[in-house]
Chains A and B, each alone.
Chain A
């Protein structure tokens, strides 16, 4: 077998190569800087990530989909689109991390963030089950450490521990499924070749369906969909807040990237056997997430349950098993990444000053920090699915895809759930805008925003508005990514 380099091989993994380089630079600069100046590593990481984003957009845009590196990685529009989302999310997260008292001045925290982003990028373009497993673990292991990063904090260590146990268990079950898939297919590990085998009937549908269920355990954990959601509230609650934001957005979207590629490329022929199951899982995730979120008094747990519900909404697009469905899921994830990153960023900014994540401590926020309250209004109304914000358009597309696939019952469930969602998002906003602090002296307790928070929240709020109003180009990008999948 001859092996030769082509330029597309390098271009296919250019973002990953640059991420690794940036990680090494961060480590070296970390050694050179004095302790009190290490906070600036956040600027370095965010700036480096934005540079990677721009460089990749300029030179590494894929034209024709192509399998490279021995079929391990597929150089296509879908992988590229997700990579850009992850790199953007990581840049925003590193800005949020700067002022965190346990993470901000620790170079290794930024390195772990970059390593995990690298894994996610590979997840987005992995087209081989070996690569897929390796990429999932490359994403997860740094996140386990980041979740338990505050070793002096009981809640954080517990979050890291729980995340590791659930993550290791579910990924092992998935791996067992992958090993069976490798055997049943007679030694084929490429997802696209497995898809052809399934289509030609060389693989018994029942066996494949069984294997798909095992694999679904691992991916279901990553996207925190019912019934693999129970880790999410605990882990989001205990982790450092910027990391919770990263877990609930980029990590979830990476899970969806794999879910889309695996189920729509390898198993579309047996979609009858899994689409109903996924629809039921989406229904239960939405219902449970929204109902339990109503009872929460801690805002991080509220956002965790809401993120379970949002995994359900995004799943609707996949259940439709169509091009519009895939497009709508990708669009939903984009809007969701912007919105939820903003939400967790605001929580991080508030708890940095007040030291509390309780919803009642958000009373009078609109007087303590009007800018923060405005960003919160944008983020929460977008989560609730109100026009003119991104969350509204995303929900419309997902429901449209389900209608097109004749899944009227799923749309009804989704719409009813959105209404429940509006209730608890507005409850939080009621504390922010209508309630006041106990002795009504908000002027004496301002919440100052550092430059990094201000920049990140401004970018995210503008992003939410852009996706919600000028949605045509974004929908075009998502559509191009969805077509590139097949």
Chain B
């Protein structure tokens, strides 16, 4: 007895001093047991993983469409409106200010302005043989298209200025003029007339001295086809403002685009332009409006997502709790055979991770697929109604990372309580559990 008492003391002392490292189950074995358990309870596993997948899938679908539409709108808005460009327009028809020589000089004199280009949109008609059609003629200054239509090639932009009496028309306009294939119209000379009233005329730069008044002598040559960015059936034309001035006198600009030297000075430049009685618009305003709108949309989607995922999480927690109850004796025998508490914990937590990650990955893939499907269907309708097809599905990397983090925490939160309970069960109590 005394020998054993002495030895016991030594043993206790040794235990306190030396922390033995014990062998643990391999993660591969833990995952294998989790996988086999899920496979053995197929229906339950499918329903639980399906619940998570539906939750993640719906969130992915909504968010990818949300981001995609936002990206598409911003892209559409910005592709012809670089952020260093200011649109200058009038406040209202009652207080209409023409962009005449003096006004333009005043605007150009503002510190920070690099370039100002004008446009005058004039109603008119085009004639080709027996065909005639109403059209909006956009009379533009030399570099207006450089600021407004970066989607159009430099050569095409230059053509109405380099080739005498050139005009750019939209494909639909070519059709209306009797050209079935718009490209057939290139090089053809057509007649035009513009409705220019006296109040559109003022003191302008480079006004020609002689202005022919015979409308039916206004002949122009189609030098190119210019597609509209959004609508296939748009009907308008671009012509050099000098051409119009030659025919109709000092036509002023109604709209202008100004490029600033430095993007950071855009707000002060806008303020100074607005002091000259104009209204300015910048794509930055539009982007801010779009972003704030989509922020609201996303917030609503997140609320929906949280509700959906809460239901999925409860389903998962329920499954794991039932799984623990059904496997209490398994926990008992594993412990009796020498499984450490941390390994029992791992078995349950990894099963939760298996469910959440499988559900999450399936949800991500199907959510993205569904969004692509919606995009495809919408494009079919868009093409049918003459709208250019576009992609509005966007899954940002940050969103994917967020989802991965989310499903990790979903597994952790739903798995941790059953796992802790399992690891703490006394082996004999678990074996006696009914």
Co-assembled chains A and B = no
> Which residues of A pack against B, CB within 8 Å?
none
